[in-house]
Structure 1
Amino acid sequence: MQEENFGKIPDGTEVKLYTLTNKQGTIVKITNYGGIITQIVTPDKNGQAGNVVLGFDNLDTYLAGHPYFGAIAGRCANRIAQGKFTLNGQEYTLAINNGPNHLHGGLQGFDKQVWTAQMLREQNALQLTYISPDGEEGYPGTLTTIVTYTLTEANELRIDYEATTDKATPINLTNHSYFNLSAGQAEDALNHEVYIQADRYTVIDDNLIPTGELRPVAGTPMDFNTPHTIGSRIAEVDGGYDHNYELTKKQDGQLELAAWVYEPLTGRVLEAYTTQPGMQFYSGNFLDGSLTGPDGKIFKKHYGFCLETQHFPDSPNQPSFPSAILNPGDTFKQSTVYRFLVQDEA
C-alpha cells in the first residue's frame, strides 16, 4: 500500500491518495476526499493493463465539479422527492440540489467530505471514517460512517459499509463509480453486454422519483435477465437507463450476484455482488463531453455506466420499499464486491 499527497481543499485541509495493488496486476487508487476511487487498473485478455473507471489524476479537477465519479454517495444516495420526509412525526427538509429534489446527500454530501483514513496493510485495505453532525444537509442525528475498501488476490474490490447514529435517520450508501471496461478502446460504453439479476424495477416519474410501482421487466427494454448490450435498446428508454432494480435475492442480507458485464474488445468482465436490495443501473446519460480524463479521452454521453448497489430511491417517503431508517442502537451494515475477470468471448 502507498500513501501520497493529493492536494488541499480550499480551507487548507490536506488530502491523500492511497494505492492498493495485488499479485494479479490490479491497481486501485482511492482518495480520502469523498472516498473517491480515482482509478482501477486491471489487465485485459491480452495482459494489457488499463484503467476501467472514469476519474481524474488531480484533486483540483474533482473540486471544480464532477458527476460523482467514483465517490461515496451519502448520507442518502439517490433522490428524495422535494427534499422532504417525515420521521417519527417530524418533517425534515433537506438541501435541494437536483431540480426539485435532494440527490446523493445534498450540496455537501459524503462525496465532498475529507474522510479520516487508516491503512490496514495486512488486509490490503483502506478504512475511511466520517462523522456527519446532527443537522448536516438537513438530516437528523450524528452519524458515524466507516467504509472499508479491500483489494483481494481474487481480483475483487470489496466495499464494506458500516454506520451508527444517535438519532433515527435515513441512510443509503453506495459507490458511484462509472465503469468503461474497454479502458478507452471503445468510443463509449454502449457495446458492453449486461446481465442484471432482477425481475422488477421501480417506475419513475418525469423527475426520476419512484411512483411506488414495482413493474416486471419481462418483455421490456428493462429486462437484462438475458444479456443485452447497453446500446441495443437504449433508444426505447426515455432518457436512457437511470433506474433502480429490485434485485432477485435468495436470502436477504447475503452477498449475491447482482450484475455481470462483458466488454468484447478487451474481454474484460465485471461481476457485482451485494447484500443490498437494489441497484441503480445508469448509462451515463448526463455526461456531456465537458470533462476529459487524464488520457485525453472525452467523457461524452454514455462513455461510462454505473452499478450503484443501494436501497431504493426516495425510500423515506415510500413505506412499501425496504426501510432505509437507521435507529440508535442498531448498526447499518452492507457490502458490495466488484470482481474483475477476463474471457475471450461471452
Structure 2
Amino acid sequence: MPTTAPFGQTTDGTHVQLFTLTNANGVMARITNYGGTLTSLLVPDKHGRLGDVILGFDHVSGYQSPEYLKSGPYFGALIGRYGNRIKDGRFALDGQEYSLAKNNGPNALHGGKVGFDKVVWQAEAGTSAEGQNLTLTYLSRDGEEGYPGNLRVRVVYTLTADNVLQISYTATTDQATFINLTNHAYFNLNHGAGQDILGHELTLNADRYTVVDATLIPTGELRPVRGTPFDFTTPRAIGERMAQVPGGYDHNWVLNHATGAHAAASVHEPTTGRTLDVTTDQPGIQFYAGNFLDGTLTGKGGAVYVKNAGFCLETQHFPDSPNQPQFPGTALRPGETFHSVSSYRFGVRKPR
C-alpha cells in the first residue's frame, strides 16, 4: 500500500497529507491532497541512480507563501475547472452569459483565483493490478469561481510496474458547464540547483500550433510548425531556437491523430540519459518552458528555481475553447461523463 505522512497545515488550519506511491524499481511519486499536487517524482538515470525530476516544495507552506502566490507557477497541481486561459474571463453557454475571475491580466487562467490547485481534495490510497494508486475527489459547487453546475471530479494517480505515472480524470455535472482538466507538473530530467532545461531534446507529435495574441489568447489560427521555431516534429533542444519566440515557449500544440490514446511528446536529457514519453487522449498539449520563473522561489533541497528551471507538458483542450466554436468542444452536460487519461512514461537511453 502507499504510505502516508503529514504535510503540514494550510493557512486556514486544515491538516493535509503526503502520499507516496512506489514500485519494485524504486520509482517514487509523492502527491499531496492539497491541490492534488505532485510534489516529487524519483526516477533512475542511465546509471540506475534515482533523482527527483519534479519542481516543488517539502511542505505545504511552500505552495502558500506570498512569493509563490504572487508568481503563480502552479507546481505539480491539478488544474480546473478550466485549464489555461479564457478570454476576458467570460463565456456564453446555452444562451446564458457567465463571468469568471480575471486572474491573468484581462483573462481567466487555470480555474480562477481559487482553482482546483488551491483546494483540499478527499484522498484514498490503494492498489490495483496496475500498481499503487491515489484516488482524489472534489465537489466543485455551482457558482464556484463563476462556473455553473455542481461538478464532481475524480482523479486517480497510478504508478505502474514499468515506470509509468498515469493520471485518470473523471467528472460529472448537474448543469451544463465547461471543463478542461490537466496537471501542471514542471519537469527537469537533470534536476538540481542551477540546472536549466534548455539542453533537453523535445519531440512534439504536432504539425500545427495555436497562434496567440499578446495576452496568450488564441487568435483562432492553427499555423503549420514547418520552418518555424515551433517545429518539434523531430528532436530539437528546447533552447536551440527559443530566442526567436518572444517571451519563450508557452503555447498549445495541436496533436496529430488526436483520437483515442496517442503519442503527444517525448523528451530526452543527454547527460542523465533519462527519457519521458507522454501519451494522452486530449487534442492538445501546452508546452511551457518555465519562462516566468525568476529565482525568487527556493524548493526542495535548496534548489533555486531560476528561469527555465523546468518545463511543462500539459495535456489539454485548446485555450479559450468556450469562446472559439471551431475548436474541439469542452462542454459537459448532465447525464454525460467526462473521462480522460494521460500517461508519463520514464526510461533511460544508454549511450550508443
Give the TM bin, normalised by the shorter chain. Answer: over 0.9
Residue in 1 that maps onto 2:307: 301
Unaligned runs of 5+ in 1: none
Residue in 2 that maps onto 1:42: 43
Partner SS state of residue 243, structure 2: helix
1:225 aligns with 2:229: no
Residue in 1 that maps onto 2:218: 210
- 2:193 and 2:79 map into 1 onto residues whose CA distance is 28
Identical-residue share of aligned pairs (%):
58
Partner SS state of residue 62, structure 2: helix
Partner SS state of residue 221, structure 1: coil
- 1:287 and 1:115 map into 2 onto residues whose CA distance is 27
- 2:79 and 2:291 map into 1 onto residues whose CA distance is 18
How far apart are residue 218 of structure 1 and its match?
0.6
Q: 2:148 aligns with which of 140, 147, 161?
A: 140
Deviation string, structure 1 residues 223-275 (Cα, Å, up to 9, x no partner): 000110000000011110000011001x61x1111000000110000000001
Q: 2:337 aligns with which of 321, 331, 345?
A: 331
Partner SS state of residue 301, structure 2: coil
Q: Is the 8 A contact 1:185 1:265 kept in 2?
A: no
- 2:126 and 2:335 map into 1 onto residues whose CA distance is 27
Residue in 1 that maps onto 2:264: 258
Residue in 1 that maps onto 2:86: 80
Unaligned runs of 5+ in 2: none
Partner SS state of residue 40, structure 2: strand
Q: Superposition pairs for residues 1-346 of structure 1, below 5 Å?
A: 1-64=2-65, 65=68, 66-122=72-128, 123-184=131-192, 187-249=195-257, 252=259, 254-345=260-351
- 1:109 and 1:141 map into 2 onto residues whose CA distance is 15
Partner SS state of residue 300, structure 2: coil
Q: In structure 1, give the amino acid aligned to 2:35.
A: G
- 1:184 and 1:266 map into 2 onto residues whose CA distance is 12
Could you list the runs of 4 or more consecutive aligned residues of structure 1 that deviate by over 6 angstroms after TM superposition? none
- 1:337 and 1:345 map into 2 onto residues whose CA distance is 25
Deviation string, structure 1 residues 135-186 (Cα, Å, up to 9, x no partner): 0000000000000000000100000000000000000000000000002277
Partner SS state of residue 220, structure 2: strand
- 1:294 and 1:186 map into 2 onto residues whose CA distance is 13
For this pair of structures, how many residues does the alignment match? Answer: 344
- 2:193 and 2:228 map into 1 onto residues whose CA distance is 30
How far apart are residue 294 of structure 1 and its match?
1.8
How far apart are residue 293 of structure 1 and its match?
1.8
Q: In structure 1, give the amino acid aligned to 2:196.
A: D
- 1:205 and 1:129 map into 2 onto residues whose CA distance is 35
Higher deviation after alignment, 268-277 or 290-299: 290-299
Q: Is the 8 A contact 2:194 2:304 kept in 1?
A: no
How far apart are residue 345 of structure 1 and its match?
4.1
Q: In structure 1, give the amino acid aligned to 2:214.
A: D
TM-score when scaled to structure 2?
A: 0.96
Partner SS state of residue 124, structure 1: strand
Q: In structure 2, give the amino acid aligned to 1:95.
A: A
Higher deviation after alignment, 131-140 or 178-187: 178-187
Q: In structure 2, give the amino acid aligned to 1:42.
A: V
Q: In structure 1, give the amino acid aligned to 2:24.
A: K
Q: In structure 2, give the amino acid aligned to 1:260.
A: S
* CA root-mean-square deviation: 1.1
